[in-house]
Amino acid sequence: MLEFIEYPKCSTCKKAKNELDKLGFEYKDVHIVEETPSEKVILKWIETSGFELKQFFNTSGIKYRELGLKDKVGTLSNKEAAKLLASDGMLLKRPILVENGMVKQIGYRQTYDKLELN
């Protein structure tokens, strides 16, 4: 099952969801704040996705700036990053598309029509 991890008020998430709907994808909505992924889940994503660690962080978010993470993210271990990201869903870049526990895409810069989904 495809999971669409989002913050519902986010305009980028709304655009992405609209495209998924137009393409006919079935997915489960996951509210990133109310259902923040666990440290264990995030660590698995980091270690198996092929995405760079920094890509998991919402670098334009208020919390990211408040914590001064710009200079710290590069020094974090995967485990430290997973713990930090699990502490506050707003630190995670969104939307995140997950299929069968594997991250397919983080953020929404490209369209979904080229996604390889099972």
What is the model's pTM?
0.90
Residue 15 and residue 29: Cα distance in Å, rounded?
A: 14
pLDDT per residue, tens digit, the chain (118 aa), is 899 999 999 999 999 999 999 999 999 999 999 999 999 999 999 999 999 999 999 999 999 999 999 989 999 999 999 999 999 999 999 999 999 999 999 999 766 766 766 6
Strand order in the sheet with 102-106: 28-31, 2-6, 96-99, 102-106
CB 69 within 8 A of CB 54: no
12, two tokens: 């980028």
| CB count in 10 Å sphere of residue 61 | 18
